Amino acid sequence: MRPVTLDGYIGQQHLVGPGAVLRRMIESGRVSSFILWGPPGVGKTTLAQIIAHTLETPFYTLSAVTSGVKDVRDVIERAKGARFFQQNSPILFIDEIHRFSKSQQDSLLGAVEQGVVTLIGATTENPSFEVIRPLLSRCAVYVLQSLGKDDLLQLMNRALQEDIVLREKKVTVQETEALLRYSGGDARKLLNIIELVTDSEEEEIVITDKLVAERLQQNPLAYDKGGEMHYDIISAFIKSIRGSDPDGAIYWLARMIEGGEDPEFIARRLVISASEDIGLANPNALLLANAAFDTVRKIGWPEGRIPLAEATVYLATSPKSNSAYMAINDAMSFVRQTGNQPVPLHLRNAPTSLMEELGYSKGYKYAHDYEGNFVEQQFLPDGVTQRFWHAQSNASEDKLKQRMIQLWGKRFEN
């Protein structure tokens, strides 16, 4: 069912539709290196293969799970040989590029920069965090989206009409709600579910919501080796914690555990939630989340479910504040707008006599020399009066706010 042309490709019209960036690039015959970022089953590999087929260029593929630096270098050497006979650089497709180590990614830099290969990477993780900066700077990043209802229905109809096995069967689709819900925007899931529910000797098959639900309960992992509805469930889990519902949070935790989710992935999300959603309203939440992460690593599975459950309930029942999260976001936005403001001289260190002569550190007041270990002085760049941290209404931050008002006066009253 994998198409070989853009006309047969379903979804991602913002990238491959008429006049869209990737279609224009392909039609021009010149493709530069890029990374496709999106959830599983939305067409990342298919899109890379269509590009290679359209440009009639050699196509090499590596999996970051099974390949090492030697494999990367071997492919690059083969690509160098093919380069002499091709107008376009050979395409090197790396699936799950976020799993490549720094050394593996470093081994790609020269070949990508010199045009020996055109790199197309595929990742389900944010490349800003998982791909090294030098490689990321040499690649555009295109975001793929989960397939919508119309896309999935189009794919279903095509499979029933064109698949060499399914088209020989008498299949009637009476209801589609369960098909669409369980596939979760993932084309691969949808096709696997269709295969599962039509895998019978019956001459006539009628697909209903009840049939889909029954078959999936009998084969819970038949269509998703990584945990059912991975992205939807982790979203529901975090939102239940944020919404202070321990029952909802524990339910989604159980769904992830039963679906075979990586326990360290769950633990990482708990640490993030403790910082982003509970924050200064209960600083102990971050300590407990970190302790749960460490404990899971030490004791493994299945006992690791217990500290995860403890942390989940604690975070869900804790008071909530995102004041630290908002403060750093506002500060970063301000920095991007105002650029590199100079550090005031009195805040700079003066390790040399020349720096002292230039006024470095002059006038700095050492807080511990003053009553209460505080003295009012300037800590922001010259001319900057912006407020970034704003206390939210909870017992912990009320105390912090009152202390700031006591020290700084009106500056922290609002």
Can you give the pLDDT at residue 223? 37
Can you give the pLDDT at residue 307? 93
How many structural domains does the chain have? 4
Residue 239 lies in a domain: yes
Residue 379 lies in a domain: yes
Residue 387 lies in a domain: yes
Where does a domain end: 91, 113, 143? 143
Question: Using CA atoms, how far apart are residues 347 and 355, in angstroms rounded to an integer?
Answer: 12
Are 155 and 10 in contact by the 8 Å Cβ rule? The answer is yes
Same domain (yes/no): 139, 170: no
Residue 196 lies in a domain: yes
Residue 340 lies in a domain: no
Same domain (yes/no): 303, 207: no
Same domain (yes/no): 14, 126: yes
Which one, of 200, 202, 189, lies nearest residue 230 by Cα? Answer: 189
384-390 LR contacts (CB < 8 Å, sep 24+) = 384/338, 384/341, 386/334, 387/411, 387/414, 388/327, 388/328, 388/330, 388/331, 388/334, 389/323, 389/324, 389/327, 390/323, 390/326, 390/327, 390/414
Q: φ, ψ for residue 60 (rounded to 5)?
A: -110, 140
Same domain (yes/no): 130, 32: yes
Same domain (yes/no): 125, 10: yes
Segment 299-358, tens digit of pLDDT: 887 888 999 999 999 999 998 999 888 898 888 888 888 888 888 888 887 778 877 778
Residue 257 lies in a domain: yes
Structure tokens given for 229: 């509805």
- CATH number (domain holding residue 170): 1.10.8.60
Can you give the pLDDT at residue 226? 46
Residue 1 lies in a domain: no
Are 47 and 22 in contact by the 8 Å Cβ rule? The answer is yes
Question: Using CA atoms, how far apart are residues 379 and 365, in angstroms rounded to an integer?
Answer: 11
Question: Using CA atoms, how far apart are residues 376 and 382, in angstroms rounded to an integer?
Answer: 15
Same domain (yes/no): 108, 162: no
- CATH number (domain holding residue 250): 1.20.272.10
Which one, of 375, 304, 384, lies nearest residue 340 by Cα? Answer: 384
What residues of the chain score a pLDDT lower than 70? 82-87, 200-203, 218-231
Where does a domain end: 143, 168, 201? 143
Q: 197 is in which domain, residue-wise?
A: 149-218
Same domain (yes/no): 94, 115: yes
- CATH number (domain holding residue 24): 3.40.50.300
Same domain (yes/no): 139, 61: yes
Same domain (yes/no): 119, 202: no
Can you give the pLDDT at residue 286? 94
Question: Using CA atoms, how far apart are residues 197 and 223, in angstroms rounded to an integer?
Answer: 11
Can you give the pLDDT at residue 85? 54
